[in-house]
Amino acid sequence: MSPRDPPVWNGPSGDPNDEQFGDVVEPISLDDADGFDAVLVGEPYDGAVIGRRGAREGPAALRDALAGVKTHRFGAGPVGSIGDCGDIDVPDGDVGRVQEAVLERTREIHASDALPVFLGGDNSITYPNAAPLLTGSLGVINFDAHLDCREPRGGPTSGTPYRQLYEAGLDAYACVGARHFETSTAYAEYVAEQGGTVVTSEAVGVDPGGAAERALDAMGSVEAVYVSVDLDVLDATAAPGVSAPTPGGVTSRELFGLLRAVAADDRVAGFEVVECAPRLDTDGRTAAAGARAIAHFLSGGNGDPS
């Protein structure tokens, strides 16, 4: 499970004053991760997708889009030091075995002092991305149109990661941006029975700041918080390149503000962007949104959150 060689980053702008992520992200080995604030890790896999596939190409598309994003955020300045450990060599085959193999690698990644930023890949990889943090109390904030807590009948899928995490000892869960008529009653009841919190996309639209507060309040006193962005949380007009695009989602501006607010919590111990499927995209919109979600998250907690 060694990673593939990390890519070389280059900022596409010819203006020397235009510092972009492509100018500051450094290809590194995992042994060097402790010297960086955050490390990128690609997970090119879509073997567990319930709907349309294509997320296997997500890590490359997210990197390409992020390379051209400038590093400055108003009120905060540039982002910190970022390394890129390359892609995990994800095996093919049974999804459960894939998760076990990825888990071996993510344990090593979480053991470093840097914040891991996983570039998906489909949502099934959320389980091995977050599971190493279950050695202590853990909460997950999931920006998603769906609850993804299906029963893993016949094996895990992209719709089962939070059921798997609950069964492994997850202490708190909040889904932000959930859509009406996209989740079965049985799964809504399951999350309620576990004490989870659901903040709908409509609630985000009415009060984005309040939505972030509800998600953080749902984490209670957990020791670590893992944050996941399934890009289908965005309205289909902003993110057509996902497995299950639907209308009624949050706007990209709402998502970016929510991510800055959540990232300010000192307990955040991991972050991911999943379900970017460039072959299904239109004009690179989904990859662009995902790249900027990463940028906003990495700048969260610095300066004015607005």
- How high is the pLDDT of residue 51? 81
CATH code at 102?
A: 3.40.800.10
Cα-trace Rg, the chain: 17
> Higher pLDDT residue, 59 or 302?
59
- How high is the pLDDT of residue 1? 37
- Nearest Cα neighbor of 54 from 65, 45, 62 is 45
- How high is the pLDDT of residue 27? 96
CB atoms within 10 A of CB 213: 13
Strand partners, 110: none
| DSSP for 2-31, written as a single string | PBPPPPPP------TT--BHHHH-EE--GG
Q: Is residue 50 part of a domain?
A: yes
Q: Is residue 118 part of a domain?
A: yes
Instruction: Quickly state the pLDDT bin for 300 (edges 50, 70, 90).
Output: confident
Strand partners, 174: 141, 197
pLDDT surpassing 90 at residue 303: no
- Nearest Cα neighbor of 271 from 130, 79, 95 is 130
Instruction: Quickly state the pLDDT bin for 305 (edges 50, 70, 90).
Output: low
Q: Is residue 39 part of a domain?
A: yes
Look up the pTM and report it.
Answer: 0.96
Q: Is residue 2 part of a domain?
A: no
Strand partners, 173: 140
Q: Is residue 222 part of a domain?
A: yes
Instruction: Quickly state the pLDDT bin for 233 (edges 50, 70, 90).
Output: very high
Q: What is the mean pLDDT of residues 170-194?
A: 97
Which value, to the nearest 10 degrees, does the dihedral of the CA atoms of residues 198, 203, 207, 210 take?
-20
- How high is the pLDDT of residue 77? 92
Whether 168 contacts 134, CB under 8 Å: yes
pLDDT surpassing 90 at residue 92: no
Q: Which long-range contacts link 91-99 to residues 24+ away (Cβ below 8 Å)? A: 92/47, 93/47, 94/155, 95/47, 95/48, 95/124, 95/155, 95/156, 95/157, 96/155, 96/156, 98/45, 98/47, 98/48, 98/124, 99/124, 99/125, 99/127, 99/128, 99/156
Query: What is the Cβ-side half-sphere exposure of residue 274, based on CA atoms within 13 angstroms?
Result: 30
Q: What is the mean pLDDT of residues 14-20?
A: 94
CB atoms within 10 A of CB 92: 8
Task: Report the relative pairing of strands 72-73 and 77-78 from DSSP bridges.
Answer: antiparallel
**pLDDT digits over 69-85, tens only?**
999 999 999 999 999 99
- What the block records as the tokens of 66 is 């992020």
pLDDT surpassing 80 at residue 2: no
Domain of residue 248: give its range.
21-299
Average pLDDT, the chain: 95
Instruction: Quickly state the pLDDT bin for 146 (edges 50, 70, 90).
Output: very high
CB atoms within 10 A of CB 302: 17
Phi, psi of 264 (to 5 degrees): -70, -15
Instruction: State the residue for tokens 């075995």.
Output: 97
Per the structure, the count of domains in the chain is: 1
Q: Is residue 4 part of a domain?
A: no
Q: Is residue 223 part of a domain?
A: yes
Terminus-to-terminus CA distance in the chain, angstroms? 40
Residue 45, SS3 per DSSP: coil
Query: What does the alpha-carbon distance between residue 2 and residue 154 come to, in Å, rounded to a whole number?
Result: 29
pLDDT surpassing 90 at residue 285: yes
Q: What is the mean pLDDT of residues 126-144?
A: 98
Q: Is residue 1 part of a domain?
A: no
Query: What does the alpha-carbon distance between residue 45 and residue 43 come to, in Å, rounded to a whole number?
Result: 6
